[in-house]
Amino acid sequence: MPIVVISHPACKLHDMGSLHPECPARLDAIEDQLISSGLSYVLGRREAPQATREELERVHDPAYIDHVFAVSPSSGLAALDGDTSMGPHSLEAALRAAGAVVCGVDLVMNQEASAVFCAVRPPGHHAERGRAMGFCIFNNVAIGAAYALDVKGLERVAIVDFDVHHGNGTEDIFKDDARVLFCSSFQHPFYPYSGADTVNPHIINLPFPAGASGSDFRERVEAEWLPALEQFAPQLIFISAGFDGHVEDDMSDMRLREQDYAWITERLIEIAQRHADGRIVSVLEGGYALHALARSVVTHLKAFLHEPA
């Protein structure tokens, strides 16, 4: 079965201003690196559908959804929070980003893909049940996870979030749902200044100090995430794939490298092969140093193809 990349041209039209780090060039950089690496020619491709109202409402308050639709401007920018704005194309981009993850679930569940990478924006893991945050409008990975549970009938899914920022929105949505094992690693103290004090049997947060290295990351993942994932035995693994912990990314002060993203991807593939028929849906979150982001995504995808990083 192929590895499939899901995206949509609308995701490159979402634009929050020329100086905003969450910019359309992120997807262009990834695509350029896929082509130059040769991976573009061996990956399957799908265009993302728009998420439906029903799919959004599984994780977001109806009043919040109404607010997003109402705020969506026909011109200029409209603020959802201090970091997150909508332009004329942002609503479609957000719906396509969420719809990509739902489509990814269908592909892996129907055995049309062994794994999926959603090359989408805006990202999603900061979006809480009732508010936008941190560049995120709808919580893409949460929408996909809820679809897998409530429509596809799975009993256990895991969400592994290695973005440099805590996935507070995903935690907010699933904190009372033991069908979801949520694992989030992040620099702390750091935006959104949450997660370090979480006490919950199905949430495993790994806060790291500024300057943490790849060996620090691997040691704690081996000690805390991997045993919990084995015990939980997820039937589908979602990855909130944020690459802003890279040493070249000025957004943070962690010191991860491409090899670290390859390593965690390989470990998750092994768990998925043992418990989930290999099913993984990976969703782009952060990563703002364009060259490092593009190289890291290629390394992430090479792991699915069992190619050296």
Per-residue pLDDT reduced to its tens digit, 287-305:
999 999 999 999 999 999 9
Rg (CA), the chain: 17
Whether 215 shows a pLDDT value over 70: the answer reads yes
pLDDT on residue 211: 98
Q: The CATH number of the domain where 279 resides is what?
A: 3.40.800.20
Percent of residues, the chain, with pLDDT higher than 90? 98
**Mean pLDDT computed over 185-212:** 98
pLDDT on residue 278: 97
Q: What is the dihedral of CA 174, 192, 224, 175, to 10 degrees?
A: -10
**Mean pLDDT computed over 42-56:** 98
On whether residue 230 sits in a domain, the answer given is: yes
- Domain residues for the domain of 214 are 3-304
pLDDT on residue 58: 98
pLDDT on residue 306: 85
Q: What is the mean pLDDT of the chain?
A: 98
Q: How confident is the model at residue 308 (pLDDT cuts 50, 70, 90)?
A: confident
Of 24, 128, 21, 132, nearest in space to 78 by CA: 132
Strands (E) across the chain are located at: 3-7, 44-47, 78-81, 84-86, 115-118, 157-161, 180-187, 203-208, 237-241, 280-284
On whether residue 212 sits in a domain, the answer given is: yes
What six digits make up the tokens of 274?
A: 């043992």
On whether residue 250 sits in a domain, the answer given is: yes
pLDDT digits (tens, 9 = 90+) for 111-165: 999 999 999 999 999 999 999 999 999 999 999 999 999 999 999 999 999 999 9
Q: What is the pTM of this model?
A: 0.98
On whether residue 309 sits in a domain, the answer given is: no
Q: Which of 126, 165, 166, 202 is catalytic?
A: 126
On whether residue 25 sits in a domain, the answer given is: yes
Of 158, 121, 160, nearest in space to 6 by CA: 121
What six digits make up the tokens of 42?
A: 């061996």
What six digits make up the tokens of 61?
A: 């308050």
Query: Would you call 8 a catalytic residue per the annotation?
Result: no
pLDDT on residue 309: 64
Whether 85 shows a pLDDT value over 80: the answer reads yes
On whether residue 280 sits in a domain, the answer given is: yes
Structural domains of the chain, count: 1
Question: In the structure, how many helices (H) and strands (E) does the chain have?
Answer: 10, 10
